[in-house]
Amino acid sequence: MAGIIEQDYIWLADKNFGLVIADGSSEFVNLKLPGPSSNEAANITSGSGKTIICGGGTDGLWNSLKRAFMVSVHENYQFTNIVSGTSRDAMRACVDPGNSSHFFVSSWGDGLFEYNDNILVRKFDAENSPLANGMVPGSGIKICGLAMDRSKNLWITQTDAPGSLKYLSLTGAGQSLL
């Protein structure tokens, strides 16, 4: 995209590799700068001193963009990037108001993810929660909206499945309401 030469160094701004430096030889070094894992964002959530950027998305017809599952967590002036090669389209995050280390991330097709200290502790799907597979075979579990009430129940909106409003308690038990 751009480059400059300064004394014996070549600095390059590359669309795929970010900031790259070369010392005049054939060795190039990719410099990792602090920041989110992607410039694509479906949603930004802030709460309890933490900001979470979800890098998934849908098109205008609510079809999956099939982006790699990317979640960037910013707290204490640094980023932690959570990337999964097997899941897709992180949509929304919800931070536990009583415990900022605890949060949930919805996905458009791969269910619900629970994190503690930025480490995945549980994935919710049709086998272990009220979440249901979509009515169209292969469409997965499409979740967008998340909110936590005062009793620490996590409210979930799920599309393309029976019961579009669901909740999970802290124990993981839950039910479909609509």
Q: For residue 173, what pLDDT is reported?
A: 66
Q: Model-level pTM greater than 0.95?
A: no
Q: Is residue 37 part of a domain?
A: no
Q: In what order do the strands lie in the sheet with 78-88?
A: 43-47, 50-54, 68-75, 78-88
Mark whether 20 and 83 lie in a shared domain.
Answer: no
Q: Write out the residue range of the structural domain in which residue 82 sits.
A: 43-176
81, two tokens: 């990037």
Residue 59 lies in a domain: yes
- Tell me how far apart the alpha carbons of residues 26 and 132 are, in angstroms, rounded to a whole number: 53
Q: What's the mean pLDDT when you consider all of the chain? A: 88
pLDDT tens digit string along 49-107? 899 999 999 999 999 999 999 999 999 989 999 999 899 999 999 999 989 999 999 99
Residue 38 counted as domain residue: no
Q: How far is CA 170 from CA 123, 143, 151, in A?
A: 14, 18, 9
Instruction: For residues 132 and 171, state if they share a domain.
Output: yes
pLDDT tens digits along 130-153: 999 998 888 899 999 999 999 999
In CATH, what number is assigned to the domain containing residue 155?
2.130.10.10
For residues 60 and 26, membership in a common domain is answered with: no
Q: Do the domain assignments include residue 36?
A: no
What local confidence, expressed as pLDDT, does residue 118 receive?
96
